[in-house]
Amino acid sequence: MAKLGLLVSIFFISFLSNSQELNCQVTVVNDAKLEVSSVEQEILTQMKQTVFEFMNNTKWTKDKFNLEERINCNIQIQINAIPTTGVYEGTMQIQSSRPVFKSTYNTTAFNFVDMDISFPFSRNSVLIYAPNQFRDNITSVLAFYAYYILGIDYDSMSLKGGNPYFIEAQQIVANAQSSNIKGWMSNETSKKNRYWLIDNTLHQLFEPLRECNYEYNRKGLDQLYENKEVARKNIFNALNKLSKIATTRPNSINVTIFVQAKTAELKNLFYDATLTEKTELVNLLKKLDPVNSSKYQEILN
């Protein structure tokens, strides 16, 4: 029994020191207007489990993560149509968060709804990611967001630390070009797709956004415990770096995703700031994301 206990302990310690990178919760729902048969409902249930296992069991990096270090994220797939048997169309919402130093608070790192999801899926489907290869759409979409989440998280910890993972995400986009499936192309009507998401991220023009991500988190949120006033000033200065992007590329997907993910957080952070500080912040946010100006106005209330 003693030997058995020792083996279990060794296995548990090994598991903790080699946990995968993501702690991903998955939901699969269907549009209320979509009629789904009992067989299709079983397939959707299996789809949820398959996606869960793929995101959580794939080794995405060479780094070792302890169990508590995994990146918390959520994926919700909404099926809006089943045009033919075994083919599913809908949307996918992807969210990830990052812990704040010396607190129990988690800040939203990424929150995006991908409007162009279409893929075949059948009972007992297996998802296996193969670098430099486009196997099927759902595998590539999920792998793309896994690496994008990793890139954002690593960028928030060290300046441009997410480079290897953003480059991997860009390679996934390149591999998908021959598929002619929506969401991967540069010439689509909407620029709110995977192609532009990663192309902008790695473009020199968007370097201030990556600097902002790092400074907002490391010099801002992570310093709140030590000095709230200095932390808030650093957060404002970090956001102000986005002004150049907003002027050159107004309403870019990357800037609006970042700013909108922080709206509620900023309202809470600046609730006891001076009216002057609040006004400066609101004016900046309106400049960065004019479409949602009314939301930022609420910070003054």
Model confidence over 148-168: pLDDT tens digits? 999 999 999 999 999 999 999
pLDDT of 134 strictly over 50: yes
Query: CB–CB of 153/175 below 8 Å?
Result: no
Cα-to-chain-centroid distance, residue 117: 16
pLDDT at res. 18: 53
pLDDT at res. 32: 86
Could you please report the per-residue DSSP string of 83-104?
Answer: SSTTEEEEEEEEEEEEEPTTSS
When the pLDDT of each residue in the chain is averaged and rounded to a whole number, the result is 93
Query: CB–CB of 146/94 below 8 Å?
Result: no
Residue 301: pLDDT band with limits 50, 70, 90: confident
Which residues are CB-contacts of 156 (< 8 A; sequence separation ≥ 6)?
98, 109, 213, 214, 216, 217, 218
pLDDT at res. 8: 38
- Average pLDDT of the segment spanning 39-57: 97
- Average pLDDT of the segment spanning 42-70: 95
Higher pLDDT, 252 or 8: 252
**71-90: pLDDT as tens digits:** 999 999 999 999 999 999 99
Q: Note the helical H segments in the chain.
A: 2-17, 38-57, 137-157, 163-176, 194-202, 207-214, 228-240, 243-248, 253-269, 275-288, 293-297
pTM above 0.85? yes
pLDDT at res. 17: 42
- Average pLDDT of the segment spanning 247-267: 96
pLDDT at res. 12: 39
Query: CB–CB of 156/116 below 8 Å?
Result: no
C-beta atoms surrounding 137 within 10 Å = 20
pLDDT of 10 strictly over 60: no
pLDDT at res. 13: 39
